[in-house]
Chain A
Amino acid sequence: MKRWIFILPVLAFAGLAVFLGMGLTRDPKVLPSQLIDRPLPEFALPGIEASADGGPGFASAAFKGEPRLLNIWASWCAACPQEHPVLEQISAQGYKVYGIAWKDKPADSREWLARYGNPYAAVAADERGRTAIDLGVTGVPETFIVDAHGRVRMKQIGPISTQDWEQRIKPLMDRLRAEA
């Protein structure tokens, strides 16, 4: 038999190793969002105030007119304090961040915001977690970038770092502002 045939298994193995090795570098926790370029699913959530009805929260209809960030967080979320200063920075730069407290008691949400400060333009409570399911949320924190027409344009899974904000999200927000 010809000599090259013995090289074949080695080549096949090398190919497989490269293919599987590439698979290892991907984070299986990050699922592609089904909402990209689709309108935000409809929701109307109460706020987190101490009153029985929770006070005013916000609805999906609020996402019109200018691009906004929709941040899913919770007082029990371990990575949220890490993301918090970046959210403060974002809102200080004049971008509106809306917050949904996911599967969180309003009293706990209030306490958390009192402790860390409130970067949100509006806060709503999704105690039963049903809006989060409509949004395809898999954990906290997650952030949706919603354009001026209420369409989801990007989803960030996990905390936003300063680098994420400056290199990916802020340029997109500015582009969406120019589009609007």
Chain B
Amino acid sequence: MKWWMAIAALLVAAPVGAVLPDEMLSDPMLEARARSISQELRCVVCQNQSIDDSDAPLARDLRVVVREQLRLGRSDAEIMDYVVARYGNFVRLKPPVQMDTLLLWGGPFLVLLLGAGGLALWSRSSRAGGIESSPLTAAELAEIARLSKDGSPPR
């Protein structure tokens, strides 16, 4: 086999997750929707995997439920709500924007704002010299005058 054929084959191959052939729907459009919904749903057994990736029996059950709902003609949002009604927002791998997730979604911007504020404060103070200077005392002025008398300019 030529090397470019191997690369082409790799490019064509789609990741299949944990979905078994007997779970799949015959309608490729519905199956594609099932895959995309499954990728948004967290497996409650192995919590950092989607049900599309997980081999847990409960994840399989939920994949089958998603496909059953699709066959009943439910929309993606309705199916999402169906699962959330049973397991809570925790099963959404992408949590919704609402009152109790405001800090979660707004947090990064808050930190960015704090950082920008700190940076502005720091750059302003460093431009102003950073070290606070007090005016010269009379003794210091006299010393300068004495040193300047020999002709060399004060530095």
Residues of A within 8 A of B (CB): 1, 28-29, 31-34, 103, 128-130, 132-136, 138-139
Contacts and interface: CB of A to CB of B under 8 A. Distances in A.
A138 B88 contact: no
B89 to A, nearest CB: 9
A128 B58 CA distance: 10
Interface string B88-110: 10100000000000000000000
B125 interface: yes
SS class, residues of chain B in contact with chain A = helix
Given A34-B85, A133-B86, A28 B47 contact: yes
16 contacts: A1-B125, A1-B130, A31-B44, A31-B87, A31-B88, A31-B90, A32-B88, A34-B86, A103-B57, A103-B61, A129-B58, A133-B61, A136-B86, A136-B88, A138-B44, A139-B45
Contacts, number: 40
Given A34-B86, A103-B57, A133 B45 contact: no
A128 to B, nearest CB: 8
Contacts of A28: 47
Interface string B62-93: 10010000000000000000001111101000
3 shortest interchain CB distances as A-B pairs: A138-B44, A136-B86, A129-B61
Interface residues of B, number: 16
A138 B51 CA distance: 13
A138 B65 CA distance: 15
A31 B125 CA distance: 49
Contacts of B88: 31-34, 136
Nearest to B91: A31
A34 B130 contact: no
B12 to A, nearest CB: 35
Given A1-B130, A129-B61, A133-B65, A138 B45 contact: yes
Contacts of B84: 34
A103 B62 CA distance: 13
B57 A133 contact: no
Contacts of B47: 28-29
